[in-house]
Chain A
Amino acid sequence: MIESRNNIRTFGSGSPTLLFSHGFGCDQSMWEPVANRLADSFRIVLFDHVGAGRSDLSAYDKAKYASLDGYARDVVEVARSIDTPDLVFVGHSVSAMIGALAAIEAPDLFKQLIMVGPSPRYIDDGDYSGGFDEQQIEELLEFLDNNHLGWSAAMGPAIMGNPDRPELGERLTNSFCSTDPDIARDFARATFFSDNRADLSAVPVPTLVLQCSEDIIAPVEVGKYVAENVPDSSFVQLEATGHCPNLSAPDEVAQAIRHYVRS
């Protein structure tokens, strides 16, 4: 049930098991380049958050996924469904915080956390600089309203009403990142209006922060803030630029993960 709800895919072999979690925007394909590079020495688990990729859209619950806690509950369930004593969670972007919440909820399930481009709060607040103000987040929501990125409204009800007919969920053009516009909007709100600064000090497992330069979504200062506030943490500055090093610099990211997990 959880397997199909979150479209879980497992491959590779070795220990520990790496559980990759995608952020706001696309789906598990974001992690494929990195995961493929690590599959020779680790067991790999990829999944889609509910509402993204090929997850079961009929499992989407507006109230549950209005905050990151709903997604974190799912991560705990996914982690529990993987039967291994050595599980390392690797979260990109907002999934870094989703992983932190999951680890706080169920510390025994996770051995380490790896956060790629994390941000505990995107909106500026007093001395804290998250990089955005509320007006700018509203602009993003407007962009999402104007761009459905290959999502066809007619598909929504068809997929929702026919979970037993997966052929109706076949991908369309631009479909890697296509999401029901309403769900994309909800996820954008849950992501960009989140504030998990207070949770950082409660992260119970060793944590690695991987930080890009010129990342407008999660600037360097924000990544450092995370590393400073998580008790047992390391900070690694990547050569890569932008917000998606898992796609733009998969070699470097895979290397950094391998090094941290093996050391």
Chain B
Amino acid sequence: MSGPDPTEDLLDLYENAPCGYLSLAPDSTIVRANRTLLGWLDLSADDLVGKPLRDLLGTGGRIAYETHLAPLLRLQGFVYEIALDLRCDHGLVPVIANASEKRDESDNHLFTRLTLFRAEDRRKYERNLLEAKIRAESEAEQRDREAELREQFIAVLGHDLRNPVAALKAGTDLLKDSGNLGTEDREIVTFMDSTLDRSIELINNVMDFARGRLGSDISLDLQPAPDLDRKLETVIAEAKAARPDRDIRSEIAIDTSVECDPDRLAQLLSNLLSNALHHGRHDAPVMVKAITTRDELEVSVTNSGTPIPANVLETLFQPFDRGSKQGNHDGLGLGLFIVDQIATAHGGRMEVVSDEGGTTFKLVIPSKESE
């Protein structure tokens, strides 16, 4: 005879398999354990047989066995991949266990069989992952809390700035109406007035931004707005009054009463217009167009001047983007972010074209024609 014996010694396989075997009576009393498992636990068969399984488990494992594993075994006949710690005199033996019920022909429960794999490294690895996850979650939570605090601060600051600025504005309004101003005084007051308008706009932007970040998105009051054209005309008229030196042209042709938030669209136009007046060439006109096509409303503002570089275009609508390095800026760079938020909230979008022919910001929103 040559070659290895092809028959495996099954008894030896049971006793010395590279895994532990444990058999339980239906009442969870241990009736048999293989030598591998006894070796791990440093126990003899006599130590273990007749003991309840719970003697091997920590409290966590015991409760889980009673509340989860035993019911699962009864309900589906098996449980796979359970992480358990077996207790013995020299400490804990971490294992992964599979278990199944041995039943007779009439479905009576005879034994519960467990196969146990020693899993020190794997369990350690899983614990490390778990700890890393918990740490990452708590750090993220901390960051969120801090960010929220900062944004609340911004919101409060914006709110508190409103009143003093409103008082100044009321003052300049009174001065404008007063009949006894000299030409030079009148120019100064007009300049102050437009600066205050710009300040109010900036404060409103900051507050909208903070609101958006604090979870309450830009709020819309959607309604059929037959007076949208008048609202937009008012914005244009205000801009003209504030900047009498500039040439602002407009074409407003809105046929249908579009369902929208007219005040928000006025705010959007005001932001776009003030950008165009700031960045556009001062000796060229700014063109405002508001038209309705068959199913869309378009509002666009065009100015002449140096085109916006392609790399800046990409991040233009993100908060705090200040169209970098174009110089001559004021404000936090929230205007276009809010413009974009208003467009999105209307289910629409912003489009930008910027080349030698000029720069155009265009709002496109679906015009749900209201009855």
Which of A's residues lie within 8 Å of B, judged by CB?
23-26, 29-30, 93, 132, 136-147, 149, 173-174, 176-177, 214-217, 241-244, 247-248
A147 near B62 with CB under 8 A, answer: no
Which residues between 59 and 74 of chain B lie within 8 Å of chain A, taking CB atoms? Answer: 59-64, 66-68, 70-72, 74
Question: CA separation between A174 and B66, bound complex, in Å?
Answer: 15
Question: CA separation between A140 and B83, bound complex, in Å?
Answer: 12
B75 near A29 with CB under 8 A, answer: yes
A149 near B68 with CB under 8 A, answer: yes
Which of B122-130, B167-175, B193-201, B224-232 is found at the contact surface with chain A?
B122-130
Q: Among B66, B72, B74, point to the contact of A217 (Cβ < 8 A).
A: B66
Closest to A135 in B: B59
Question: CA separation between A68 and B59, bound complex, in Å?
Answer: 23
Q: Among A140, A146, A216, A242, point to the contact of B126 (Cβ < 8 A).
A: A146
Count how many pairs of residues, one from A and one from B, have CB atoms less than 8 Å apart in the complex: 95
Chain B's interface: helix, strand, loop or mixed, by majority? Answer: helix
Determine whether B28 belongs to the interface, using a CB cutoff of 8 Å to chain A.
yes
Determine whether B54 belongs to the interface, using a CB cutoff of 8 Å to chain A.
yes
What A residues does B80 contact at CB under 8 A?
A: 173-174
Q: Which among B26, B68, B74, B79 has the highest number of chain A CB atoms within 10 Å? A: B68
Q: Among B28, B72, B81, B130, point to the contact of A177 (Cβ < 8 A).
A: B72
Which 3 residue pairs spanning A and B have beta carbons closest together? A25-B67, A139-B60, A143-B60
A136 near B70 with CB under 8 A, answer: no
Which residues between 73 and 121 of chain B lie within 8 Å of chain A, taking CB atoms? Answer: 74-76, 79-83
Closest to A191 in B: B67
Q: Which among A24, A26, A136, A147 has the highest number of chain B CB atoms within 10 Å? A: A147
A139 near B59 with CB under 8 A, answer: yes
A244 near B123 with CB under 8 A, answer: no
**Contact A26 to B66, CB < 8 A, known contacts A139-B58, A146-B130, A248-B26:** no
Determine whether B187 belongs to the interface, using a CB cutoff of 8 Å to chain A.
no
Question: CA separation between A140 and B61, bound complex, in Å?
Answer: 7
B83 near A147 with CB under 8 A, answer: yes
B70 near A145 with CB under 8 A, answer: no
Determine whether B27 belongs to the interface, using a CB cutoff of 8 Å to chain A.
yes
B130 near A136 with CB under 8 A, answer: no
**Contact A177 to B68, CB < 8 A, known contacts A145-B130, A147-B83, A244-B74:** yes
B27 near A244 with CB under 8 A, answer: no
B64 near A243 with CB under 8 A, answer: no
Which of B's residues lie within 8 Å of A, judged by CB?
26-28, 52, 54, 58-64, 66-68, 70-72, 74-76, 79-83, 123, 126-127, 130
What B residues does A217 contact at CB under 8 A?
A: 63, 66-67
What A residues does B75 contact at CB under 8 A?
A: 26, 29-30, 176, 247
What B residues does A145 contact at CB under 8 A?
A: 130
What A residues does B62 contact at CB under 8 A?
A: 216
30 contacts between A and B (CB under 8 A): A26-B68, A29-B75, A93-B67, A139-B59, A139-B60, A140-B60, A143-B61, A146-B83, A146-B123, A146-B127, A147-B82, A149-B68, A149-B72, A149-B82, A173-B80, A174-B76, A174-B79, A176-B71, A214-B27, A216-B54, A216-B62, A217-B63, A217-B67, A242-B70, A244-B70, A244-B71, A244-B74, A247-B71, A248-B26, A248-B74
Question: CA separation between A208 and B112, bound complex, in Å?
Answer: 32
What B residues does A141 contact at CB under 8 A?
A: 60
Q: Among B26, B67, B82, point to the contact of A24 (Cβ < 8 A).
A: B67
User: In the complex, how many angstroms separate the beta carbon of A145 from the nearest chain B beta carbon?
Assistant: 6
User: In the complex, how many angstroms separate the beta carbon of B77 from the nearest chain A beta carbon?
Assistant: 11
Question: CA separation between A146 and B81, bound complex, in Å?
Answer: 10
B130 near A247 with CB under 8 A, answer: no
Instruction: Supply 18 further A-B pairs (C-beta < 8 A) apart from A139-B58, A243-B66.
Output: A24-B67, A25-B67, A25-B68, A136-B63, A139-B59, A142-B60, A143-B61, A143-B83, A146-B126, A147-B82, A149-B68, A173-B80, A174-B79, A176-B71, A216-B66, A247-B71, A248-B26, A248-B70
Question: CA separation between A26 and B28, bound complex, in Å?
Answer: 19
Closest to B73 in A: A247
What B residues does A146 contact at CB under 8 A?
A: 83, 123, 126-127, 130
What A residues does B126 contact at CB under 8 A?
A: 146
User: In the complex, how many angstroms separate the beta carbon of B262 from the nearest chain A beta carbon?
Assistant: 34
User: In the complex, how many angstroms separate the beta carbon of A104 from the nearest chain B beta carbon?
Assistant: 25
